[in-house]
């Protein structure tokens, strides 16, 4: 029986196992291109069940409707070979099947179990972490990695990637000091490790350390940016820091040169582009005709969405373009999903639909209506996934909506929340100044 580089069992031969390791390394670092590397393995060994199962898992966790046919093709080939798969490989097949059928929780648990059974199964930890991320399960982002950490030692292949994943979990749980330390260790072990870089960027974002964050991402970019499938997201984080630095032109330049560089070929890229333009537009900045490229990207992914988080970002764009027909299409998609089954039904019902309604209300100038829809979601918005930094768009929108509605009490409450964690933020300070003006008018 062959194993991968960390001793995890594979049912293929040793030469194929080595090729799989090379493909998996690309996935661990998000380097271009793990799918192409797996396709080369499959071209040589069409019956390599792990290649098909992992291919399905990687595609599944892109949460992109446009890749659905590819996902199902890989899954069918993996299932056809399941009879010769070992127990670990069968878990991977089961996980991908569950995800494709819409049960993201159960799929994530399968990858999690694979890691419990094989604590050195870095690939399973990574797929489970992506699942926990898309489910907004902060605690599991941390604890699923913590489960396996005692089995690891310095110098083991991939240890830094595990530290990067743990760092992100620690950050999402608010343990910023440990997160920063472990994230920086991961970056030092492999400067290509965009996920470890990302964990540190999140710490700096959450602590309002925009100057440091911008410098950190700029200084580390030569490591994580070239030929990297995740780079657009770290550039998005830099664009957020640029907003906080008051550098709106710099933020838009990152949209033009980096975030949109891939033409929004994946939903994840479109999410970041949409979220950046929404933040700028909500603040009243002119984003030009940038919405239009995103509108094209979302139009092809509208009907029967698979992930409410994506649908809400499509709504941002159609509010930006003022396309009421497309806004209503997004609402219809979310209504159908909410009435359906699987994890996305819960996400659509609990968060996606009311949030999309709130964004649409904001778009037509009904700021009180936007507050009525969005405010009750603050406590459970994590149910539709993403990071704290991504879901910060709710708070961002509420601050602006409350000020525009002339609701001094609500505006003061929303802005007070932001100042409590990001006192030095120029954006928060701008809202605070407008709040004070509202209060003076109310008192006059
Ligand atoms: Fe992020």
Q: What is the pLDDT along the chain (444 residues), one digit of tens a residue?
A: 799 999 999 999 999 999 999 999 999 999 999 999 999 999 999 999 999 999 999 999 999 988 999 999 999 999 999 999 999 999 999 999 999 999 999 999 999 999 999 999 999 999 999 999 999 999 999 999 999 999 999 999 999 999 999 999 999 999 999 999 999 999 999 999 999 999 999 999 999 999 999 999 999 999 999 999 999 999 999 999 999 999 999 999 999 999 999 999 999 999 999 999 999 999 999 999 999 999 999 998 887 788 999 999 999 999 999 999 999 999 999 999 999 999 999 999 999 999 999 999 999 999 999 999 999 999 999 999 999 999 999 999 999 999 999 999 999 999 999 999 888 899 999 999 999 999 776 666
**How far is the C-alpha of 336 from the C-alpha of 348, rounded, in Å?**
9
Is omega for the bond preceding 426 within 30 degrees of 0, making it cis?
A: no
Burial string for 256-265 (b: 16+ CB within 10 Å, else e) reads eebbbeeebe
Residues with CB under 5 A from ligand 1 (ion): 387
Largest CA-CA distance found in the chain, in angstroms, rounded: 81
Rounded distance from Cα 233 to ligand 1 centre (Å): 6
CB 154 within 8 A of CB 146: no
- CA 5, 7, 8, 14 torsion: positive or negative? positive
Rounded distance from Cα 1 to ligand 1 centre (Å): 39
Rounded distance from Cα 388 to ligand 1 centre (Å): 8
Rounded distance from Cα 280 to ligand 1 centre (Å): 18
Rounded distance from Cα 41 to ligand 1 centre (Å): 31
Residue 239 CB contacts under 8 Å (≥ 6 apart), including other chains: 250, 251, 254, 255, 259, 276
**How far is the C-alpha of 327 from the C-alpha of 273, rounded, in Å?**
18
413, two tokens: 């409450």
Domain 1-134 CATH class label: mainly alpha
Which CATH architecture best describes the domain 152-261? Alpha Horseshoe (1.25)
Rounded distance from Cα 112 to ligand 1 centre (Å): 22
DSSP 152: -
Helix (H, G, I), strand (E, B) or coil at 46: coil
- Tell me the pTM: 0.97
Rounded distance from Cα 322 to ligand 1 centre (Å): 28
CB 28 within 8 A of CB 45: no
């Amino acid at each position: 029986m062959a194993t991968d580089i960390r001793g995890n069992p594979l049912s293929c031969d040793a030469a194929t196992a080595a090729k799989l390791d090379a493909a998996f390394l690309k996935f661990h670092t998000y380097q271009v291109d793990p799918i192409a590397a797996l396709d080369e393995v499959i071209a040589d060994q069409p019956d390599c069940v792990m290649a098909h199962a992992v291919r399905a898992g990687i595609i599944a966790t892109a949460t992109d409707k446009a890749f659905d046919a590819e996902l199902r093709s890989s899954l069918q080939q993996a299932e056809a070979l399941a009879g010769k798969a070992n127990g670990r490989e069968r878990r991977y097949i089961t996980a991908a099947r569950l995800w494709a059928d819409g049960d993201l929780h159960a799929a994530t648990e399968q990858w999690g179990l694979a890691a419990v059974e094989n604590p050195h199964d870095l690939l399973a930890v990574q797929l489970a972490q992506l699942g926990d991320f898309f489910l907004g399960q902060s605690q599991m982002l941390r604890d699923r990695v913590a489960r396996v950490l005692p089995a690891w030692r310095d110098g083991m292949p991939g240890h830094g990637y595990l530290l990067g994943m743990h760092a992100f979990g620690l950050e999402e749980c608010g343990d910023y000091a440990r997160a920063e330390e472990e994230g920086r260790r991961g970056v030092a072990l492999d400067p290509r490790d965009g996920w470890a870089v990302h964990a540190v960027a999140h710490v700096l974002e959450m602590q309002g350390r925009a100057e440091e964050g911008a410098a950190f991402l700029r200084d580390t970019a030569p490591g994580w940016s070239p030929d990297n499938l995740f780079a657009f997201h770290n550039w998005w984080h830099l664009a957020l820091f640029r907003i906080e630095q008051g550098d709106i032109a710099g933020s838009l330049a990152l949209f033009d040169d980096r975030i949109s560089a891939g033409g929004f070929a994946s939903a994840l890229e479109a999410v970041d582009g949409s979220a950046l333009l929404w933040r700028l537009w909500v603040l009243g900045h002119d984003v030009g005709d940038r919405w239009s490229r995103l509108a094209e990207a979302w139009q092809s992914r509208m009907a029967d969405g698979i992930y409410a988080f994506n649908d809400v970002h499509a709504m941002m764009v159609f509010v930006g373009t003022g396309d009421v027909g497309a806004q209503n299409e997004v609402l219809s998609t979310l209504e159908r999903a909410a009435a359906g089954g699987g994890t996305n039904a819960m996400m659509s019902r609990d968060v996606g639909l009311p949030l999309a309604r709130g964004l649409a209300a904001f778009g037509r100038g009904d700021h009180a209506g936007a507050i009525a829809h969005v405010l009750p979601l603050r406590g459970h918005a994590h149910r539709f996934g993403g990071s704290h930094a991504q879901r910060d768009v709710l708070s961002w929108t509420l601050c602006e909506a409350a000020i525009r509605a002339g609701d001094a009490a609500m505006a003061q409450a929303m802005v007070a929340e932001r100042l409590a964690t990001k006192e030095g933020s120029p954006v928060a300070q701008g809202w605070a100044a407008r709040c004070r003006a509202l209060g003076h008018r109310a008192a006059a």
